Amino acid sequence: MSFNPDLCRNESEVESKLIVSYLLPKLGYGIEHWHQEVTLGSIRLDFLSFAAQQLPCRLDGDSSLALVLEAKHPRQNLDRHQRKLRRYLTSMNVRYGLLTNAKEIRIYKREGNDIKLVFKCWGSEVDDKIEEIKELVGRNYLGLNPKPNIPKNYDNTTKSETKKIVSNILENQAKLVNLETESNQINQSRRNSMKVIAIYHNKGGVGKTTTVVNLAAALSKKGYRILVIDLDSQANTTFATGLIQFNDEQFDDIKDSYIYHVLRYDEYCSIPEVARVSKFNNPEIDVVPSHINLMDVEGELNGLRSTQTALIKKLKLVEEKYDVVLIDTPPSLNLYAFVPLVSANYLIIPSDLKPFANQGLSNVKNYLQRDVNRFRQMMNKPDIELLGVLPCKINHNYKFVQYTLPKQIQAISRRYEISVMETIIFQREELAKCIDKTREVGDLIIPEPSSIFDYAPDSASCQEFELLANEVLNKIGLQ
């Protein structure tokens, strides 16, 4: 049986077509020798194979824990996952790890507390290279002792030898417990370290709202506790998360409790009091809504010195409640852009990469350096960390993607000295439809927007936001 990497269109197919159907059988691992989706504390392995199904399981470098296999989406850059694989191998004392996106296959070997690349080939070469792979990580070539550390003449073993064997087993069991405890502690530490991300560009129409709501949905699907804050007076994110369900101002239930009240009152209107549970995604997400009236109260809030730091203080009170906070901002250089930029840890700049959006990047850079970071330094806060420009609402025409898009990306890096994120969000019909979804109630048409994950779970847009979530989690240290 040969392998064709072009048949793998997503991560699931890399797992099923390359690893399960091809590599594991070729390397001598039967169904009884490997396990899928293994969880140990905060470590979640795609595949863990065993040289033998015998106990006790040892974690001393001569372990029957033979090989960790990690599958990634064909468009994923494997370099981004090397650090995670290193943590897996060193934490578990496993010798070898195989990392693949079907297009490329890499094998790493643990050396102390580091890992070394010992083999690499393209997926199209794997048929020709399979014997080399087998000699490294095949079940019969790993150089591991497949039998438990029990002497053949066990019945005649001396008491001291027996004591040593029992001690060895207990030590290995303790390592398993300690590893899980340590992983849980790391996981809890990360949970307590809330990350705040502003989504900002001073050019409108570049996909900020689409990015906020669907990135929030992607992170929520992964089990992270998410808060979305809408600081744009146009309230597009409030609408896109399904909180505006009235067609008459008489039934407007937002104007009396929204982001204005969070910023206006020091002692009152905490985030839990103002936030609403949005059902645009499953699991549900907390959203602090905005309102069109926010435009009318900007002068009032500008006159209060406390406004600039109000959100920082209110977020401090919920840092154990959420893992990630996403803030939608207006396309401006006003107070409602300033507040999230001084409150956030990180910044993503969505851009359609067109000339006007690119020209606006100079304004964004100057604004950060001149106003935002200077204010942050006065508060002893580090400069906001730019995660990069996110290509968004990009034309998916084949020739454009092949020839024009790479030039646009290079231009941003060269002219503006700003990094561009690896993920690309293309302009697709389903992204517009999921936000504009409605339902009829009698004679009324009620907005009922949905995240792309609930609206079109098998769509290309869904995969793109999955990639974005992974990239963001890697960059902010939550994955």
User: Of 60, 70, 454, 80, which Cα lies nearest the Cα of 285?
Assistant: 454
If asked whether residues 210 and 182 sit together in one domain, one would say no
- The answer as to whether 353 is a domain residue is yes
Beta bridge partners of 355: none
pLDDT at residue 177 in the model: 45
> Does residue 133 sit in the same domain as residue 224?
no
* Number of domains the chain contains: 2
Q: State residue 46's pLDDT score.
A: 79
Q: Which residue in this structure is represented by tokens 């401090």?
A: 316
- Copy the structure tokens of residue 62: 């001569």
Which of these, 433, 264, 426, 435, lies nearest to 352 by C-alpha position?
426
Domain span at residue 307 reads 194-476
Are the beta carbons of 103 and 10 closer than 8 angstroms? no
**199, amino acid identity:** I
Q: Are residues 223 and 142 in the same domain?
A: no
User: Does residue 164 lie in a domain region?
Assistant: no
Helices 208-221/460-476 angle, 10° precision: 80
Tell me whether residue 253 is in a domain. Answer: yes
Nearest Cα neighbor of 8 from 71, 69, 79 is 71
- Local confidence pLDDT in tens for the 479 residues of the chain: 789 999 998 888 898 899 988 999 999 888 778 888 776 655 778 778 876 544 334 444 444 456 899 999 998 889 888 888 888 888 778 889 999 999 999 999 988 888 999 999 999 999 999 999 999 998 887 654 343 333 344 344 444 544 454 455 345 444 544 544 444 444 444 445 899 999 999 998 999 999 999 999 999 998 999 999 999 999 999 999 989 866 656 678 898 999 999 999 988 899 999 999 998 998 899 999 999 999 999 999 999 988 999 999 999 999 999 999 999 999 999 999 999 999 999 999 999 998 888 888 999 999 999 999 999 999 999 999 999 999 999 998 888 988 899 999 998 988 888 999 999 999 999 998 998 887 776 666 777 899 999 999 889 999 999 999 999 999 999 87
For residue 56, is the peptide bond before it cis, meaning its omega torsion is within 30 degrees of 0?
yes
Within-domain flag for 329: yes
Residue 260 amino acid letter: Y
Same domain, 141 and 210: no
**Residue 201 shares a structural domain with residue 306:** yes
Q: Quick one: DSSP state of residue 251?
A: G
First to last CA, the chain: 35
> What is the domain-level CATH number for residue 54?
3.90.1570.30
Do 399 and 273 fall into the same domain? yes
Whole-number Å distance between alpha carbons of 88 and 82: 10
Q: At which residue do the structure tokens 């694989």 appear?
A: 85
CA distance 208 to 350: 6
Residues 183 and 208 in one domain: no
**DSSP β-ladder status, 34-40 and 276-278:** unpaired
**What DSSP state is assigned to residue 117?**
E
- Does residue 260 form part of some domain? yes
Token pair in block for residue 295 = 């435009």
Report d(CA 289, CA 298) in Å as an integer. Answer: 16
| Chain position carrying tokens 């990180």 | 346
Kindly state whether residues 302 and 448 are assigned to the same domain: yes
Distance CA 457, CA 451 (A): 9
Q: Looking at 51-148, list the stretches that DSSP marks H as alpha helix, in order from N- to C-terminal side.
A: 82-92, 126-137
Q: What angle do CA 338, 342, 346 make, to 5 degrees?
A: 110
Q: How far apart are CA 252 and CA 69, in angstroms?
A: 53
Q: Alpha-carbon distance 325 to 330, whole Å?
A: 17
CATH of the domain at 397: 3.40.50.300
At 234, the amino acid letter reads Q
Whether 162 is in a domain gets the answer: no
Burial class (CB in 10 A: 0-12, 13-18, 19+), 80: middle
Considering the domain architecture, whether residues 180 and 221 belong to the same structural domain is answered as no
Between β-strands 104-111 and 114-122, what pairing exists: parallel, antiparallel or unpaired? antiparallel
**Rounded-to-integer distance, Cα 390 and Cα 181, Å:** 37
Contacts of 43 (CB under 8 A, 6+ apart): 87, 88, 91, 92, 183
In a domain, 163, yes or no: no
384 and 326 assigned to the same domain: yes
Tally the residues of the chain. 479
Question: DSSP H helical segments within 193-256, as ranges?
Answer: 208-221, 236-240
